[in-house]
Structures are given as C-alpha cells and as structure tokens.
Chains A and B, each alone.
Chain A
C-alpha cells in the first residue's frame, strides 16, 4: 500500500489510472474487475507507458478502454489477442502486457491461440472474464457454460464445459488462478501476484453477466458465486521493498505450517494462508485432481490453483538480445556495405 493514501509512489492519484466510462450493462462483473485493475495498478505504482492493454472481441474485450487511460491498447480481432501480444512482447521485453479476454474469445474461437501462447510462455497477465455466455450477440451458450443449463432462447445445454484453468495447467502454464469478480480482495491479490510472475499468468475469473446468465442455478451467476465460492487460501503479498520487514510481520501472525510462501520473479512474495483445506498449489497432479473434484461437484474453488518456477519466456528460449528490439539504433538494423559485398563475392 502506498504510504500516502492519495498519491502513489509515482505521485499519481487513483484517478490517473482510470479509463473511459464503461458502456457495459450496469452491474456487469467485468466493470468490477476493471476497477480492481485500476486499484492495484495505482497501488503498485505501475508505469502506464510501459503497460499494454490487449484484447480480442466481446464484452470483456471492450474493457481495456475503461482502465489505465495512459497505456497503449490494442483491441484486436476475435480470439487472436494471444498472437498480437506474442509479437508485441517479443520485440519489446520491457512491456507489461495485460490481456483481457472472455470465455467465447478464449474458450471457442481463440482456444488454439490460447494454448500456444501458454506453450510459448509469453510474459503477460491473461485475464478471462468468464460468464458462460455470449453477451454482445445476445445470449448464446459459450464453451464454459454448465452442462444441463437452460437459457431463454437456446434451451438446454447438453455439452460439458471446457475448464480454461485446467487447459492452462495441461499446457504447461506456470501460474494459474481462479477467482470471482464478487470477491474484489482476492482478485486484487491475484492480479498483483500475476504481474509479478515471469511468463504467462492466467486468471480465470467468474464474472457474471447480469443480462443473460445470472440465474441462481448458473455457476457463473452472482448468487451462485456468493453462496458457493470456496477460497483455497487467503492471499496477501509482500512487495519487494517490504520483504526486509517480513520477519516482523510474520512473527505471531500465523502458526507454523499455516502459510505457504511463493517467491515471485521480481522479489514479491505471495503468501497463501491456509483455510479449511490443505492445498499446496505447487503440485501439478493435485491441481488437476482439485479441478476434477470441482467439476464433479460444481464447486467454485478460487485462489492460486497452480504455480511452478517459471521456465524460460519465449524471448529467452529464442536467445534474443536483452535490449528491446524496437529500440535498436539504425546501424544495428542494417549490416555494413562490406557485409553485402563479401556475400556477393562468395556467390560469384
């Protein structure tokens, strides 16, 4: 938290992190997530000029217009945001990419790009605002809709849902979380942790559609979420500059064995405080079992589902220069005349 409640470390107020006025339906879960992004960006003192807000098409993909007005943004095409982020972050490794997608954008048209993005470990925060329904085209089932669910115009859904968190885990994503837009505290904590992560961090956030899918029996509704959300742990974070003070913070606050500490790449420490369950997100098979259990019993288990030490990012595995390729001087973009002459000679 900033020491001065009105301005952050950069001397900016929270207003400086706002975007345009939302045009989504009043009460939309997505607006709540946008507000948490504004809040954590302000609290972390993110430099907005280094942030890129990326999206595809759909209600969720409109939201980058509603936060961080001083950041570049790209509202691309349906389901293809991952490839655009891959290009942008590979040529400029200083950018902090925040992608916002939905269950249609990621789970249907963009499923292929989603999986390949994860496979490449492109450094970004990938937020899925998951409401199980197509909003802008007015109420079709998405691929994450509950099996057996009923919607006004489309009747019963006979197909089982795709679990985008599970897809992430099996695609070797190293940071996979699930949350509920009605739980702003957890959303904030996970957002901060995901920004500190090196590589792709997936946040699959149940974000109810108040217009088309908010009946209490839908697992993507507010009533269901409020009734059934089961946090796997309480999460808080120690920012890098607070880590020195952590000993004293720890003392007396938690009992031994009650806290799992996960150090992030940038020095941040994510602390997961035990709830009723004994869950260690660093076990892949356990994470998959957990999601299987959630699927069988329609449980909304939230928190950090899976975490592992980040592997190389795409730029690293490609052995690219550490300096942003977009900032190379012109003399590094064109080899000298002699280099061409020499090549030509060798071909004669």
Chain B
C-alpha cells in the first residue's frame, strides 16, 4: 500500500478519528497451546497496572495444541468488565481463522497480522497493521520449539506502541507472570522491546484507539475464581479434598495444593490438608463423604459430568446428613457438552441432586471475591446444616482473571455446628437423659452429631441411607420415614434463613425487575445503565443461594414485570422461581442465553428493550 493510499484510507476514517480512549475491546486469535495465554495475560496485567479497569476472557477449544483459540480483552474507563459482543481490534495470529476474524470487525476496526502471510488488504473500511513476527524472532537465538510461543510477544510490543502502554509496566507484568524469574522475563522483554522499536520506526498510527493511565485499579487484585475458591477453602479450614481431573475445575485443586504451605503443622512441618486424586468422581465424593462423616472439613471440585456421577453419594449425604462441600465449576452439557465453554446449566439438576426427595443447598458466587467468601462460608454452612453444600461457580469466573477488591478476612469464627465431643455428650446426657442421632431436640430440624473416635460408650450411631427412625435405628416403617422427611423439611427452612441473602437494588418505580445470579452480574449492571440512559429504570435482585430467600418472592411480587437473566438454554432459575412461588408468576419472563460464552450486556439490554417496547405496544392496544 502506497503512502497515498494510506492517506486516502486515513481520510476515509477521518470523522471517526476522534480519539477513543480506554473504551474498546481486543480479540486475539491464536492457536491453542501456542503460549498465547502468557502474552495475553501480560497484556491484561499491563493494563491493570495502568490503572484501567480490564477483563480478559479466554474462549478456548477442548484441545491441547493446534485448534483455534480466542482471547478477548476489554478496557473500560467507566469500570465495565462484562464481555462485549463486538471487538474493535483483532490481533489475527491464526491464519486459519483470519478471514473470519477480519470479516467480524466493525467498520473502522483494526487488524494486526503477520507480514509474512502476505494477506492482502481484503477490506478497505478497516485499518491494517502488518507486523514482522518471524523476522523479529529470527534476530534472537531461540530454539525452534519455543519460537511460536515467544512470537506472541511481538504483538505485545506492537500493541504497546500503537495504543500506548508504557514499557516499564509491560516489564512489571512480565515479572508478575513469570514470578520474577529473570531468564524468561528478560528474553520476552527483549522481543517486546524490539517489536516496539520496529513499530515506532515503521508504523503510521491511523486508528483512534489508545490507552491512557487511570487510577481505577489501585488497591485491587487480578485473580481467577478457582484460585479464590481454593484460598477461601484454605481459610475455611479444609482438611480433606478429593477430586478427579476435569475442565474447568482442575485449577481449583491446583491452587489448593499451592496454598497448602499456609496450613502446615507447625510442629512437624507436615501437611494438614490432604489432597487425594481419585480414580473417578464417584470415588472423589465417596472419600469426601467419608471424611466429612469422620469430622473433617472436606471438599471436592468438579464440573457437570462429575456432578452426574456424584448424584448417588449426594443423595446419601443428604439423607444421612453428612457435611461436605462440592464445587461445580459449570460448563456446557449434558455429557461432554462444550467442555471449555461456560454455562449456568447445572442449577436445576444440582438443586434436586439425589433420587427420591432431596433439595440441596446451593451457593452462587458472582466473582472471585464471592468465591473466596463462599470458600470458607460453605464449610460453616455444611457443618451447621449437616448437609452437602454445593457452590456453583462457572468457567468464566473460575478460569478467567477478574479484577477484584482484595478479599476480606472471615468476619466470624469457625462454626462446626451441632457437634458433641466426649464432654459435650456427657453434658447432653446430663441435661436430656438421652441422645439420639436424628432427634430434633431444638425444633430447627438439625440434630446433634458425634464423630468416630469420641471416647464415650454411647457416642456411636449407625449411619445409613436406608430408612431410619430418630434414634438412628433401621426402620422401614412409613411413619418413621415421614417423620424424618418432615424434620428434613424443617431443616430446609432453617437453611433458608442461613444461606446468603440476595443483593437488591430497588428502583422507586417498581415497574421492571431483573433477577439474575452468578457471573452474569457485570453484564446485567451494564445493561441497566444502558436501559437507564434510554429512560428505562430497572430494579435488580441478584440471587446468591438456594433455597430462595423470602426476599426473592417479595421482590418478584413488588414488580410489574420480572426478567430472569441466566446463562442456560432452558431458563432453569425461572423454573425454580415458579416452583417456589406457584401463584402470581405470570409476569416472570425468562431471558436465557446458553451459547457457551459469558453473558453480554448487549443480550440483556436489547432483549429487555425490545420486550419492553413490545410491552408498551401491547398495553396501548388494550
């Protein structure tokens, strides 16, 4: 392209040349296993160090090496961190997907691609930057096996020059990424610097996009939900974890292993957190149930296929009343589904997990900070209620880096619930003249338990899934069964009072209410702002746990129309709400997505807007 042509193109875009600062999105297209995760993380961390609110979302295939993978990075001076539907800038590093990646760009978009492809400028309404990836790498003595990996640092250098990321912050990000190891930091930085120099000497900045330093990330951290969950469990007193490898939950256990040093036995220096890799998810939950029964704080971490396998033990733990914590980092299903794509599709299944009559306790974190909070709280809840507690995170929260406030230290001491040790049991006998495992002494549905090893001749009881009376004795009598179920229902009502309350923002109009949960939160928040700009004021309730608290039905009753926003195809939470409030739910509408990608503000905004406009039209016709 000649200089004249470039000028022509620049003129074509002149009206859009107004500088676009800190409000756009990138898409980096690479090949899986090429090391682009590292370079993308470096970009995200550099922007974070610039003080600009940023998110990075990895949209990757189920593959070790070679298949196309995309990474989106969004910056927002206004602090929005939801995934955007469109990206203005494509860094096309995968020749196989480049045609599509380029075609997807909006008018005025930017593409950065390797020179050596000799691609040709197939669109004239976007800006092209061809960069010398191979040539830059050739200047360094890099083993051929590593070339592709460090090649990704070339676009980091070019992006830094084009959009103005200070190189010292890139260096800092590299240092974070490689935990200060001088070798890899220096090698990668040299490439970044060389690419930056090349860009300064050879490129003419034609696009309007740039970053400008802000101070909006000060005091914040960047962390994945799975790391946060593991840290929460570590501060929650986990002593036993068993698991079977499964995407996207594996990194939770990896992180737990990494935090074990915080919990060494000070006397022996040995571990106090057992982490056992099981032969399958059935064994994983079996071990956790055995450990929970014996008095440990035990967790397992899995995803949908694992939850399927765990259903029998989940039912047993429910009826035998054994505290365990089960993390489900949800992905698309059923079966293998889309193993590396996010979803909220396990809500309904988990809520009722187990055959027969069972209703499980489920926590729904929205981000890493809540993963940390529920990481420790789930143990207190499980012990207090003597029941499994499920925490449903998802791939988006679990595996992507999120900007977060630093985590808050637990605000209450560890609560082991109604557990009787030797002395407790003696006192209990002195007071009540008896102790039976499943007798509801306190009328809250929760009985008192003992654990093996309690040195008291009356401490033992027989644990079974089979029918039992309140003494813990085997019974096939209908009245014993019904009495037990009635107590479990009382316990469920107690659970309703103990689980985390929803977060509610009420608009004075009380017309439109949005109900959502989990990782949809940033998308809902942004959509509400956009709706407000269009004159549509909304209230918002974010569910944080099942069973649903009374606040949820009150909120739904208060509003004329309710939109339940969720990331599954069937509108599963909507179903649960309808079960919970069988009357007066005709104004509850499901806004369910379920396409494997994180929820976007666009989906929420456009759907509510069009439904509201339709609603207005409908109302006018009456």
Stretch in A34-42, A175-183, A265-273, A313-321 touching the partner: A313-321
Known: A87-B291, A322-B268. A314 touches B462 (CB 8 A): no
Partner of A49, one of B221, B280, B410, B459: B459
Taking CB atoms and an 8 Å cut-off, the chain A residues in 294-323 that contact chain B are 314-315, 318-323
Q: Looking at the assembled complex, report how far the CB atom of A124 sits from the nearest CB atom of chain B, in whole angstroms.
A: 11
**Given the complex, which residues of B lie within 8 Å of A73, measured CB to CB?**
460-463
B192 at interface, CB cutoff 8 A: no
Taking CB atoms and an 8 Å cut-off, the chain A residues in 69-87 that contact chain B are 69-77, 80, 82-87
Taking CB atoms and an 8 Å cut-off, the chain B residues in 254-282 that contact chain A are 262-263, 265-266, 268, 270-272, 274-276, 278-280, 282
A324 at interface, CB cutoff 8 A: yes
**Given the complex, which residues of B lie within 8 Å of A65, measured CB to CB?**
462, 474
Q: Can you list 11 A-B pairs, Cβ within 8 angstroms, ordered by A? A: A75-B464, A76-B290, A83-B282, A83-B283, A86-B283, A90-B291, A92-B294, A113-B282, A318-B276, A333-B239, A348-B219
Taking CB atoms and an 8 Å cut-off, the chain A residues in 37-68 that contact chain B are 47-50, 52, 64-65
Complex CA gap A92/B265 in Å reads 15
The answer to whether A71 touches B460 (Cβ under 8 A) is yes
Partner of A113, one of B235, B276, B286: B286
B614 at interface, CB cutoff 8 A: no
Top 4 A-B pairs ranked by shortest CB distance? Answer: A83-B286, A87-B290, A333-B237, A87-B291
The answer to whether A337 touches B409 (Cβ under 8 A) is yes
A95 at interface, CB cutoff 8 A: yes
Complex CA gap A95/B296 in Å reads 13
Known: A80-B282, A113-B283. A326 touches B296 (CB 8 A): yes
7 additional A-B residue pairs with CB within 8 Å, beyond A320-B271, A325-B240, A328-B237: A65-B474, A73-B460, A74-B320, A76-B316, A77-B286, A90-B287, A92-B294
Which secondary structure dominates where chain A touches chain B?
A: helix
The answer to whether A74 touches B290 (Cβ under 8 A) is yes
**Given the complex, which residues of A lie within 8 Å of B312, measured CB to CB?**
77, 80
Taking CB atoms and an 8 Å cut-off, the chain B residues in 448-467 that contact chain A are 450-466
The answer to whether B274 touches A90 (Cβ under 8 A) is yes
- Tell me which of B235, B268, B410 has the highest count of chain A C-beta atoms within 10 A of its own C-beta: B235
A339 at interface, CB cutoff 8 A: yes
A4 at interface, CB cutoff 8 A: no
Complex CA gap A131/B280 in Å reads 28
**Given the complex, which residues of B lie within 8 Å of A340, measured CB to CB?**
231, 235, 407, 409
A137 at interface, CB cutoff 8 A: no
Partner of A332, one of B272, B313, B407, B462: B272
The answer to whether B463 touches A332 (Cβ under 8 A) is no
Complex CA gap A73/B288 in Å reads 16
**Given the complex, which residues of A lie within 8 Å of B466, measured CB to CB?**
75
**Given the complex, which residues of B lie within 8 Å of A116, measured CB to CB?**
278-279, 283
Nearest residue (CB) in A for B221 is A347
Taking CB atoms and an 8 Å cut-off, the chain B residues in 524-575 that contact chain A are none
Taking CB atoms and an 8 Å cut-off, the chain A residues in 323-348 that contact chain B are 323-328, 330, 332-335, 337, 339-341, 343-344, 347-348
The answer to whether A87 touches B279 (Cβ under 8 A) is no
**Given the complex, which residues of A lie within 8 Å of B210, measured CB to CB?**
none
**Given the complex, which residues of A lie within 8 Å of B203, measured CB to CB?**
none
B514 at interface, CB cutoff 8 A: no
Complex CA gap A152/B554 in Å reads 63
Known: A83-B287, A116-B283. A94 touches B460 (CB 8 A): no
Q: Looking at the assembled complex, report how far the CB atom of A300 sits from the nearest CB atom of chain B, in whole angstroms.
A: 32
**Given the complex, which residues of A lie within 8 Å of B294, measured CB to CB?**
52, 87-89, 91-92, 95, 326
The answer to whether B316 touches A326 (Cβ under 8 A) is no
B220 at interface, CB cutoff 8 A: yes
Please count how many residues in chain A sit with their CB below 8 Å of the partner chain's CB atoms.
Answer: 61
The answer to whether A326 touches B451 (Cβ under 8 A) is yes
**Given the complex, which residues of A lie within 8 Å of B465, measured CB to CB?**
75-77
**Given the complex, which residues of B lie within 8 Å of A328, measured CB to CB?**
237, 239, 272
A112 at interface, CB cutoff 8 A: yes
The answer to whether B292 touches A87 (Cβ under 8 A) is yes
The answer to whether A319 touches B270 (Cβ under 8 A) is yes
The answer to whether A334 touches B237 (Cβ under 8 A) is yes
The answer to whether A49 touches B455 (Cβ under 8 A) is yes
Q: Looking at the assembled complex, report how far the CB atom of A164 sits from the nearest CB atom of chain B, in whole angstroms.
A: 18
Q: Looking at the assembled complex, report how far the CB atom of A200 sits from the nearest CB atom of chain B, in whole angstroms.
A: 15
Known: A49-B460, A86-B290, A326-B294. A335 touches B234 (CB 8 A): yes
B242 at interface, CB cutoff 8 A: yes
- Tell me which of A76, A113, A315, A347 has the highest count of chain B C-beta atoms within 10 A of its own C-beta: A76
B106 at interface, CB cutoff 8 A: no
**Given the complex, which residues of A lie within 8 Å of B451, measured CB to CB?**
72, 92, 326
Contact indicator per residue, chain B 304-333, by CB within 8 Å of chain A (1) or not (0): 000000001100100010000000000000
Nearest residue (CB) in A for B282 is A80
Complex CA gap A326/B240 in Å reads 10
The answer to whether A326 touches B220 (Cβ under 8 A) is no
Q: Looking at the assembled complex, report how far the CB atom of A315 sits from the nearest CB atom of chain B, in whole angstroms.
A: 7
Nearest residue (CB) in B for A340 is B409
Nearest residue (CB) in B for A90 is B274
The answer to whether A325 touches B237 (Cβ under 8 A) is no
**Given the complex, which residues of B lie within 8 Å of A347, measured CB to CB?**
221-223, 406
The answer to whether A92 touches B453 (Cβ under 8 A) is yes
Nearest residue (CB) in A for B456 is A49
Complex CA gap A135/B193 in Å reads 75
**Given the complex, which residues of A lie within 8 Å of B274, measured CB to CB?**
90-91, 315, 318, 320, 325
**Given the complex, which residues of A lie within 8 Å of B376, measured CB to CB?**
334
The answer to whether A321 touches B460 (Cβ under 8 A) is no
B341 at interface, CB cutoff 8 A: no
The answer to whether B291 touches A77 (Cβ under 8 A) is no
**Given the complex, which residues of A lie within 8 Å of B456, measured CB to CB?**
49
Complex CA gap A91/B463 in Å reads 18
Nearest residue (CB) in B for A64 is B462
B248 at interface, CB cutoff 8 A: no
B498 at interface, CB cutoff 8 A: no
The answer to whether A348 touches B297 (Cβ under 8 A) is no
Nearest residue (CB) in B for A72 is B452
Known: A84-B286, A87-B240, A87-B290. A343 touches B231 (CB 8 A): yes
B414 at interface, CB cutoff 8 A: yes
**Given the complex, which residues of A lie within 8 Å of B288, measured CB to CB?**
87
The answer to whether A86 touches B287 (Cβ under 8 A) is yes
The answer to whether B460 touches A95 (Cβ under 8 A) is no
Complex CA gap A315/B274 in Å reads 8
The answer to whether B270 touches A322 (Cβ under 8 A) is yes
B339 at interface, CB cutoff 8 A: no
Nearest residue (CB) in A for B273 is A325
The answer to whether B289 touches A87 (Cβ under 8 A) is yes
Complex CA gap A292/B221 in Å reads 63
Contact indicator per residue, chain B 579-616, by CB within 8 Å of chain A (1) or not (0): 00000000000000000000000000000000000000
Complex CA gap A84/B298 in Å reads 12
The answer to whether B296 touches A91 (Cβ under 8 A) is yes
B413 at interface, CB cutoff 8 A: yes
Known: A80-B283, A87-B240, A90-B291. A72 touches B463 (CB 8 A): yes
B225 at interface, CB cutoff 8 A: no
Contact indicator per residue, chain B 395-425, by CB within 8 Å of chain A (1) or not (0): 0000000000011011001100000000000
B293 at interface, CB cutoff 8 A: yes
**Given the complex, which residues of B lie within 8 Å of A324, measured CB to CB?**
453
B502 at interface, CB cutoff 8 A: no
Q: Looking at the assembled complex, report how far the CB atom of B611 sits from the nearest CB atom of chain A, in whole angstroms.
A: 41
The answer to whether B461 touches A321 (Cβ under 8 A) is no
Q: Looking at the assembled complex, report how far the CB atom of A60 sits from the nearest CB atom of chain B, in whole angstroms.
A: 15
